[in-house]
Amino acid sequence: MTTVLTESQWSGFIEHLKQAGPTQHSSAAGLCTDLWAELAASGMFATFADAGTGGAGMTAAIQRIRDLGRNSPDRGLTFSAVTQLASTIYCLRAFGSKELQARYLPAAEAGTAIGGHAITEAEAGSDVMNMSSTATLQGEHYVLNGNKRFITNAPVASTLVVYAKTIEDGIDKGLSAFLVETGWTGVDTSATMDTAGLRTSPIGEVSLDSVRVPAGNRIGHTGAGLLMLDQVMKREILLAFTGNVGEMEQMVDQSVRYANDRKQFGSSIGSNQLVADRIVETQIAIELGGALLNSIAQRLDGFEDVTIPIAAAKVFISEANVNSAVNAIRVHGGNGYLGSSPLSTHLLDAIPGAIYSGSNDLLRTKIATMLGVSS
């Protein structure tokens, strides 16, 4: 049964995170199951069940992901939670049949079943249309074949939303999405990938070898995968980089405390304008990035095209997050570079933001093209 989120539940969970203290550095890889269970018990994954997938639901989800980013001692948890919310739960609620929703949403929204979405391939990262995975209709089943990599939550997932080229009656019908259970014959999610950052958000490879998927497990219409993916990725970017805004707030809090407490030459180092400016630079990015994301969320469900704003927000916030991590290390000086400090981990966690959900280089080219710049 879906756990419906209440404000008191959520506030209690956030207060628990605050009492747990600042982020602790850890080189351990893998999802923190205890924190995941607590997050699930708070009702976080039932946000869309409670408020819908429209404006109210996205506003609630954005605020809670920002709260999580600011207070969680585990950034990988935030990243994995975004995948659960945007790529599994939103996708099913927005595009899945009533039967699929009834079968899979309760466990996903209770957090007892973890989901992921399988898009990226070795030769098809940002170039989605170049993917080689196929789904061939044979009677009442599709037969899926292909290999995916860099799939968030794959090593611990119960279900995956898999995107593949769809073949029906020998004709390529374009990309479609399928709800695949990882326990089915032919699905292999055992190959994990050892990343430098976000180590508590498990990432792995997915092998699909003649996987028989019931036709009813197709999400949406045949060939609608690209349109669905566009909508899913817009929500994923909103949530993931809202989490980054919260994480930058966490770094500001840590830096302000340190700058006030650390004394040099008889004064706190924060009295040095150059040190203070590093903190202020991060706060400026928080204000601009947060305002931009909130504006996009309000416009997303209307008829306005938010392709450029959302690409711009992703580029701006991901790069500001890296700069903020560097600034936090420099505010802390040598103490920030120690292995016992969480700040170097913050930096490694921030770097992939320029890569996932569409590389920043590609997004800059996309923005230029949409502005009418000739190629």
Give the catalytic positions in this structure: 236
- From residue 187, give the alpha-carbon distance in Å to each of 31, 39, 158, 311: 21, 28, 11, 33
Contact 213, 144 (CB under 8 A): yes
Q: Distance between CA 189 and CA 302 in Å, rounded?
A: 38
Strands 159-168, 115-118: pairing is parallel
Query: What would the two tokens of residue 257 be?
Result: 């405390």
Determine the angle formed by the axes of helices 55-71 and 273-299, rounding to 10 degrees. 160
Kind and range of the H or E element at 123? none
Cα dihedral 163, 244, 195, 134 in deg (nearest 10): 0
Distance, in Å, from the CA atom of 122 to the CA atom of 129, rounded to the nearest integer, reads 13
The first and second tokens of residue 348, run together, are 């490694």
Contact predicate 210/145, CB 8 Å:
yes
Q: Other CB atoms closer than 10 Å to residue 133's CB: what's the count? A: 20
